[in-house]
Amino acid sequence: MLCSTVLKKYNFMEKGHISVQTENIFPIIKKFLYSDHEIFLREIVANATDATTKLKTLSIKGDVEGDIGDLTIDIILDKEAKTLTIRDRGLGMTEAEVKKYLNQVAFSSAESFLKKYKDDATIIGHFGLGFYSSFMVANQVEVVTKSFKKTAKAVRWICDGNPEYEIENTKKEFRGTDVILHINEESVEFLEKSKIEGLLKKYCKFLPFPIRFGTKTDTTWEGDGEDRKKIDTEVDNIINDVAPLWKNSPTNIDDEEYKKFYKELYPFAADPLFWIHLNIDYPFNLTGILYFPKLNKGLEVQKNKIQLYSNQVYVTDDVKDIVPEFLTLLHGIIDSPDIPLNVSRSYLQSDASVKKITSYITRKVADKLNSLFKEDRKTFEEKWDEISVFVKYGMISEEKFYEKAEKFALFKNIDKEYFTFEEYQEKIKPVQTDKNNKLVYLYTNNKDEHFSYINSAKDAGYDVLEFDTIIDNHFIQQLEYKLQDASFVRVDSDTVDNLVQTDEKKESVLSDADQEKVKNIFTKVIDDKSAHIELKALSPNDYPVVLTKPEFMRRMKEMQQLQGMGLDNFPDSYNVVINTNHPLVAEKLVRMKSEEKREQFADYLQNLARLNQNMLKGEALSKFIQQSIEYAKV
């Protein structure tokens, strides 16, 4: 019930009930909106903006007499009175309009309403209940309004969160509406200036009319030297930018303005690589700017950097249902009134307009990348390392993006040369086509670790690609599926003469008996019995012993690691390849008289191979170093 002091103050009041069929409507509103209780301010200010926009539209059409004057929206905080007032100079309301818009919250019936929506968090907004979010923080709401119509009288409406309301004629000097919230005891945080200013900057930073929250001190300096004086002046504290950059035409914006706006949005971020200005009005309305940030190879980037606005009102930074997952790596702003929103600002993925918007944004991003590639390939290549994760992510996750991206996606080899898919196929076809007519793409994900393997491959005339991002394992599998007759093999997966399998075979200098002797020696000294020992007639210039890791097993293990799964099913697996044509094997090892020395030397050679694969550590490494010193003395 209204407090007695208010009842005494107004003598000629009409009393009535808000048109709902249940006493439970306000508790339900509070329950559904409680998790986002701060949005009351956004909703009331957005209503004020709507009223101001309507007035401006009518004025342009000539339906408003005289000059409409200042359209600033004021936010007035009175901590002592425990009130927060949102004041606009917009359209205002007549008494009939107050009754229509504030009192008729219509539902078919209390029973069907509760049955249908009791478990549906999207109820609010289906019925335009944004204004009533104010009751989450206020135990009483007053609306004092005066219509722009000359003959209309000012009206005061009062409600304390129950279906009962009171309405009366009153006095109001200016056209527009004051919404006065009497903040309840549970919501005293909204009587703090810093809290309100923070919410205004979050939700109302780019509204199209000035939002004024009191005053602030503007400091200037006059004079020089000892005569220099500091001058403090109280000025209006305008919260927002009424003409944000994305609402301007791209032809009127230079690069520095785009970068400056990016810094306003993300003050601590490095300059963006480039950006896309979105601007479409059919078949839906959408504007915005999407920026490409600098990404690292590990995808360790904070998402939720794209801000969604509706008619310049901030909605959310969780846009995963509007843009594909890979596009959430971008930064920037999307503004669209055509994304269906409820008062808690959740949007409906199933809506047809959302799907169209998703497709449009994906296409625009792909077109932008393609145009950059065509217009300035050199600059595009320079930025490839920083955008490759993004492009690969998109190609893996979105079929339509893949179709466009295969024109500009690049391969980078270890010599820092860049190729389109088609260019690279032509480059390696003469030397990296196997006996099954498949193109073999050799790659490394660690140039330093695979240094010797890379050198061997290059000496054989092969080219080696660099795949060193966290998603390259997935990307390689995608390419094997998409590219016809292609296989990707890490450079340490086999000996160099077997990376590109052909029918050519080298002859070993050792007899069959000596080869069997060599295999028996290594079988004794290799502790890991799961290792597969293989004798091969390689070049004398190759290593005496080479460790290789089977492509399939290694790739499956890496996939498990990426997905955070256990690794028990895929233990470390490797092959020990003994080069029977290397002098240390074919001559020195075979000719040793002492079996003990042969085993020691074989152990040394396999440890040398393990060291090359970074598999020798701790005590084993220390023993190897000591053994190397002993051999050096001989």
Three-point CA angle 561, 566, 569, nearest 5° = 100
Q: For 5-63, how does the pLDDT look when each residue is reduced to its tens digit (9 = 90+)?
A: 444 444 456 776 665 544 555 666 665 554 578 889 998 999 899 899 999 989 998 98
CA–CA gap between residue 91 and residue 489 (Å, rounded): 69
Q: Given this model, what pLDDT does residue 463 score?
A: 96
| 198 lies in the same domain as 57 | yes
| 130 lies in the same domain as 174 | yes
| 606 lies in the same domain as 486 | no
Helix residue spans in 25-82 (DSSP H) = 25-33, 39-61
Is 345 contained in some domain?
A: yes
Domain-terminating residue out of 162, 190, 213: 213
Of 410, 324, 317, nearest to 362 (Cα)?
324
Residue range 103-128: mean pLDDT, rounded: 42
The CATH number of residue 629's host domain is 1.20.120.790
Q: Please provide the DSSP assignment of 124-145 as one string.
A: TTTT--GGGGGGGTEEEEEEEE
Mean pLDDT across the chain? 83
Is 565 contained in some domain?
A: no
Q: For 559-608, how does the pLDDT look when each residue is reduced to its tens digit (9 = 90+)?
A: 666 665 554 554 567 788 888 889 999 888 888 888 888 888 988 898 88
Q: Given this model, what pLDDT does residue 435 score?
A: 84
| 202 lies in the same domain as 292 | no
Please state the pTM of the whole predicted model.
Answer: 0.79
| 196 lies in the same domain as 262 | no
Q: Given this model, what pLDDT does residue 126 score?
A: 37
Is 234 contained in some domain?
A: no
Which domain, by its residues, includes 621?
A: 512-547+573-633
| 377 lies in the same domain as 415 | no
Checking if the pLDDT of 418 tops 90, the result is yes
CA–CA gap between residue 112 and residue 93 (Å, rounded): 32
| 439 lies in the same domain as 474 | yes
Is 231 contained in some domain?
A: no
Q: Given this model, what pLDDT does residue 611 score?
A: 85
Tokens linked to 22: 């249940």
Residue range 256-260: mean pLDDT, rounded: 96
| 613 lies in the same domain as 580 | yes
The tally of domains found in the chain comes to 4
Is 403 contained in some domain?
A: no
Residue range 324-348: mean pLDDT, rounded: 77
Q: Please state, in angstroms and as integers, the Cα–Cα distance from residue 368 to each residue in 19, 259, 274, 416, following that order.
A: 52, 17, 10, 24
| 606 lies in the same domain as 471 | no
* High-pLDDT (> 90) share of the chain, %: 43
Q: For 350-397, how does the pLDDT look when each residue is reduced to its tens digit (9 = 90+)?
A: 567 778 888 899 999 999 999 999 999 999 999 999 899 999 999 999
Q: Given this model, what pLDDT does residue 257 score?
A: 96
| 174 lies in the same domain as 319 | no
Domain-terminating residue out of 213, 234, 256: 213
Residues facing residue 275 across a β-bridge: 291
The CATH number of residue 478's host domain is 3.40.50.11260
Q: Which residues, including other chains, have CB under 8 Å from residue 535's CB and lie 6 or more apart?
A: 508, 515, 518, 519, 577, 578, 580
| 434 lies in the same domain as 458 | yes
Q: Given this model, what pLDDT does residue 420 score?
A: 97
Is 507 contained in some domain?
A: no
The CATH number of residue 99's host domain is 3.30.565.10
| 282 lies in the same domain as 371 | yes
Q: String of b and e for 328-352 (b: at least 16 CB within 10 Å)?
A: bbbbbbbbbeebbbbbbbbbeeeee
176-183 and 211-222: which strand pairing? unpaired
CA contacts within 13 A on the Cβ side of 558: 19
Is 27 contained in some domain?
A: yes
List the end-to-end C-alpha distance of the chain, in Å, as a whole number.
104
- What's the burial of 451, exposed, middle or buried (CB within 10 Å: 0-12/13-18/19+)? middle
- Helix or strand holding residue 164 (H, E): strand 164-170
CA–CA gap between residue 559 and residue 471 (Å, rounded): 9
The CATH number of residue 322's host domain is 3.30.230.80
Residue range 475-500: mean pLDDT, rounded: 86
Q: Which residues, including other chains, have CB under 8 Å from residue 419's CB and lie 6 or more apart?
A: 410, 411, 413, 427
Is 283 contained in some domain?
A: yes
CA–CA gap between residue 316 and residue 347 (Å, rounded): 10
Q: For 440-484, how does the pLDDT look when each residue is reduced to its tens digit (9 = 90+)?
A: 999 999 898 888 889 989 988 999 999 988 889 889 999 999 998
* High-pLDDT (> 70) share of the chain, %: 84
